[in-house]
Amino acid sequence: MEKRGQIDAILPHTLLLALIRERNTLIYKDIYPGIVSVAIICWHMNCSIYKCHGNELTYYLLTYPAGRSPHLPVLFFTLISFFPISGFSIYNVIPLLFLTDFLNMKAKFHFLGTGTSIGTPMIGCSCKVCKSENPRNKRLRCSAVIVFENGLNILIDASTDLRQQALHHNINRLDAVLLTHHHADHIFGLDDLRVYNYHQNESIPVYTPKKSLAEVKKVYSYAFTSQPPKGGFLRMELIPVWSESFEIKGINIVPVPVNHGEIKILGYRIGNLAYLTDVSAIPEKSLKLLRELGILILSALRYKPHPKHLNVDQAVETAKRIGAERTYFTHISHWVEHTEMEKVLPEGMKPAYDGLITEFDL
């Protein structure tokens, strides 16, 4: 008969915490009565429980969706742990209580660039924004990196300015790239992944909208030849995505299809944050994916209407409809001065700027 209730003795805290932080998974060993008792709670929270075997041990894995807190089942497990029928001892409750501090992993969203395809200042322009001394009016092409507490770094779009952005923000590792679409200002930095290939000695997965896959392959055809050139060649794995959610090393990613003029592109939701750039309209089906957001990042090109982008008024109305706790506007042209825009926006909405960092929950 198997011995029960030796979580702390079998797995050191560091390993257990690492698994939780990377996989959004809590680990328990042989808690049959607890599994049955908590089934209704897990069903209500859209959690799942799996029985796994490894290293001559049996584990139960409690998985929960990103953006949802597992505190209720954890509290329930903790309470039943005091009773002998659960197979737990008081010594197993102590590490469990410590684990609750690590259940809601956070991440930091770094705005690497908040400008349009021409950036700000624009070459040859002498408007007041292009000549402004306010550093928040200096905008590189749109790109961002999400830094997770477990060391994972995910880049969103590889802008034309990626090398400059990576050096300035000390981005020394990339684990994956999310592309929103195939326009030049969003993919022309992909060749700079060669440096990460060299340092990490691995190919970089690039998650690409299905509708952009052929275009990206066309631009970077030299990366997909049957006989790659010798030396520092680009190694990336293009992974087509569209409407189905997927995971990157345990982090749940939800694609959000949106319109960019006549083409369909993707935004992404990670935890309680959503990033939507180059948007002209958001379909009703996609709006449902944006409920209960903590942070919305949305493009707002300029004050005048544009056929392929939301202008400031349209972006504000869209943000009000989504109802996130905080909204940051990005992909801002040289027609918009940062301080002036900040003054006219409703409470809870702000223009983003290069170098801004905001923290969010997974």
Domain spanning 106-361: CATH superfamily: Ribonuclease Z/Hydroxyacylglutathione hydrolase-like (3.60.15.10)
Sorted by where each begins, the domain ranges of the chain are 7-102, 106-361
For residue 228, give both structure tokens: 């790659």
Q: How far apart are CA 249 and CA 252, in angstroms?
A: 9
SS3 content of the chain, % helix, strand, coil (to 5): 30, 30, 40
**What is the per-residue pLDDT for 298?**
98
Instruction: Quote the pLDDT of residue 55.
Output: 43
Would you say the C-alpha torsion 294, 50, 147, 175 has a positive or negative sign?
A: negative
Question: Tens digit of pLDDT per residue, the chain (362 long)?
Answer: 333 333 232 223 233 333 333 334 444 433 333 444 444 445 445 555 444 444 444 444 555 554 445 555 555 555 544 444 344 443 343 344 434 444 457 899 999 999 999 999 999 999 999 999 999 999 999 999 999 988 899 999 999 999 999 999 999 999 999 999 999 999 999 999 999 999 999 999 999 999 999 999 999 999 988 776 677 789 999 999 999 999 998 899 999 999 999 999 999 999 999 999 999 999 999 999 999 999 999 999 999 999 999 999 999 999 999 999 999 999 999 999 999 999 999 999 999 999 999 999 88
Q: Provide the whole-model pTM.
A: 0.75
What are the E-state strand segments in the chain?
25-28, 48-54, 57-63, 106-113, 143-148, 153-156, 176-178, 204-209, 236-241, 246-248, 251-260, 263-270, 273-276, 295-299, 326-330, 349-351, 357-361
